[in-house]
Amino acid sequence: MTRSFARALNHCAGTVDIVRRRDLLAGVGVVAALWPLAGVAQQSVPTVGVLAVGSPGVEDFWRLFRQAMQELGYSEGQTIRYEFRSDEGHITRLPELAAELVRLKVDLIVTWFTPAAQAAKQATRDIPIVMALAGNPVETGLVESLARPGGNITGMAGVAAELAGKSVQLIREMLPLALRVAALANGADPFSKPFLEHIRLAGTATETTIDPILIHRFDDVAAAFQGMQESRPDAVIVQPSLPTKRVAELAISYRIPSVSVIRGFAKDGGLMAYQSKEVELYRQSATYVDKILKGAKPANLPIQQPSKFELIINMNTAKAIGLTMPRAFLTRVDELID
């Protein structure tokens, strides 16, 4: 082998070695570039279970809550997942649905209405629970106190019982001659006790006779209105976990002014709704979900109460039952449904 030929071979081998080193470094660079993306892909997306009573207004809650989460930077299907469960008007299904969310190992459960919060509490002591709306959580045994809820539950405490009591006063302003009010309560809902108690106290304060009527089966609603033909109440206040759309229809057919504490009731034909401002409630509950997903403990988050309220009147219903309201009363109304 000549020296020139040997030098040529060595040169070729060196060139091949350099190419191999370049390929290796390029491969390492690609792996390094892809490594952060692989880490992102492996990160789990939090799943939020949602448990709701199938009452009028549930669609508004679900829409407003997801909107509030989006405003906080969560993108559905990308940075957050939801498992939505509704009892669809059958409150006895709530324990089964809550257990299903626990089996799915959701990271957090959001509840809407007291029975849903009760079912979630019975299903888990470990998964955080945020109440988007629940009436009197201390009185119903959901938490120890508003300031120090303890356990795995926090969120928004509705003041529906107090608003139901306030509704007695509003009825007297709307109907100055009203002396008797029926209170239609859901016997299967633990919230019925404070609901009826606040109405009773308001009746005493305004010298209004209160007729409490407990509904144990939703099929009993029609019979309850038939019974009202004898007592002849001037108005009826309806607990929101009842089938309020059916109640509104019956109230119109019996020409009885009807009142509840959720906006959906007025939308579905009820005469009047006096409620907490929903947007604020669900925005605050979404804020709590965000805090807990980032590491906060429910026990350390005091339960909030609403501070803004709105009065809604369905004028079509007023016309249907032949009711003319005082002009001074109408000036207080926040929304008229025509």
Per-residue tens of pLDDT for the chain, all 338 residues = 444 434 444 444 444 444 444 444 444 444 444 444 444 444 589 999 999 998 878 998 999 999 999 999 999 999 999 999 999 988 899 999 999 999 999 999 999 999 999 999 999 999 999 999 887 888 888 998 999 998 999 999 888 889 999 999 999 999 999 999 999 999 988 889 999 999 999 999 999 999 999 999 888 999 999 999 999 999 999 999 898 899 999 999 999 999 999 888 999 999 999 998 888 889 999 999 999 999 999 999 999 988 889 999 999 999 999 999 999 999 999 999 98
Instruction: Please tell me the predicted confidence (pLDDT) of residue 14.
Output: 47
Amino acid residing at 185: A
- Judge whether 47-158+277-307 and 161-276+310-337 match in fold: yes
Residue 230's Cβ-count burial label (10 Å; 0-12, 13-18, 19+) is: exposed
The ranges assigned to domains in the chain are: 47-158+277-307, 161-276+310-337
Q: What's the start-to-end Cα distance of the chain, in Å?
A: 105
Instruction: Please tell me the predicted confidence (pLDDT) of residue 134.
Output: 87
Q: What are phi and psi of 72, to 5 degrees?
A: -85, 0
Instruction: Please tell me the predicted confidence (pLDDT) of residue 130.
Output: 98
Domain 47-158+277-307 has CATH 3.40.920.10: no
Helices (H) and strands (E) in the chain, counts: 12, 12
Q: What predicted TM-score, i.e. pTM, was given to this entire model?
A: 0.75
Q: Measured between alpha carbons, how far is 129 from 137 in angstroms, rounded to an integer? A: 13
Q: Measured between alpha carbons, how far is 21 from 56 in angstroms, rounded to an integer? A: 69
* Fold for the domain defined by 161-276+310-337: Rossmann fold (3.40.50)
Tell me which residue of 213, 260, 219, 252 sits closest to 56, measured CA to CA: 260
263, two tokens = 């906006």
Instruction: Please tell me the predicted confidence (pLDDT) of residue 43.
Output: 57
219, two tokens = 């099929």
